[in-house]
Amino acid sequence: AQSVTQPDIHITVSEGASLELRCNYSYGATPYLFWYVQSPGQGLQLLLKYFSGDTLVQGIKGFEAEFKRSQSSFNLRKPSVHWSDAAEYFCAVGPNRDDKIIFGKGTRLHILP
């Protein structure tokens, strides 16, 4: 069965520091991978997605993620975080582009001034 693991429940970084949020997936074939962000009291907003092709994908708000098949990972990165990046981040996997999407438990990002 497909699943997504986000090993870090909370991450704290200083403003201006680099960020990497981890995501591992379990799926038999090449999955469709997503990162979403959720601000307090809001719905989930799509940051980026990977379907095929270049394994480094660029998203909104300066985020990028890299698909590594050998490690079954799809880690999210940002070179320099801003206070407004404080939110909860969800990695997700789907068997195809419009089928059901399974989410990880989320990583809550805290930013120190």
Smallest distance, other proteins to C-beta of residue 56, A: 18
Nearer to other proteins, 43 or 113 (CB): 43
Q: What are phi and psi of 99, to 5 degrees?
A: -95, 180
Smallest distance, other proteins to C-beta of residue 15, A: 27
Q: Is 106 helix (H, G, I), strand (E, B) or coil?
A: coil
* Gap between the Cα atoms of 34 and 93, Å rounded: 6
Smallest distance, other proteins to C-beta of residue 79, A: 24
Using CB under 8 A, list all residues that contact other proteins.
Answer: 34, 36, 42-46, 49, 90, 97-106
Q: What are phi and psi of 39, to 5 degrees?
A: -85, 155
